[in-house]
Structure 1
Amino acid sequence: LSAMNRLNNVLQARRAVEQLRLETELQRIKVRSAEQLVQYCQEHRRADPLLTGINASSNLFKDKKTCVLL
């Protein structure tokens, strides 16, 4: 592999590890009712990546190349 490919692989691995670290730090809560779940979701909606989106520069699943039709 070229030096550029190795560097790219290392950067991707670091991003994946950072994402996994963030996921392991998430605190889980026990929900006893649907009402509690709705309340929790409403209180934490600003930090929810499914609602707010993910920064394109840190998104591991973003397409690396664009498709151009001629």
Structure 2
Amino acid sequence: MSGKVCSSNSVVQAQRVVDQLRVEATMERIKISLTAAELVQYCQEHRRSDPLLTGIAASSNPFKDKKTCVLL
């Protein structure tokens, strides 16, 4: 009896996988070259406000150490 239950579960699981693959196969895809071009354009338009590129001013950096470390 447990063999039937086990094979029934695997059939149900396989059917779910097939259904998911069918859904993914019918999805409309965007070409990577278009997406990459849009990403490059966005990065170039926002590069002046990007703290990773421009850095953070020492006066406005909340994570800057208040005191320097001194070794004796």
| TM-score interval (norm. to shorter) | 0.3 to 0.5
Between structure 1 and structure 2, the one with the greater Rg is 2
Q: Which has the higher helix share?
A: 2
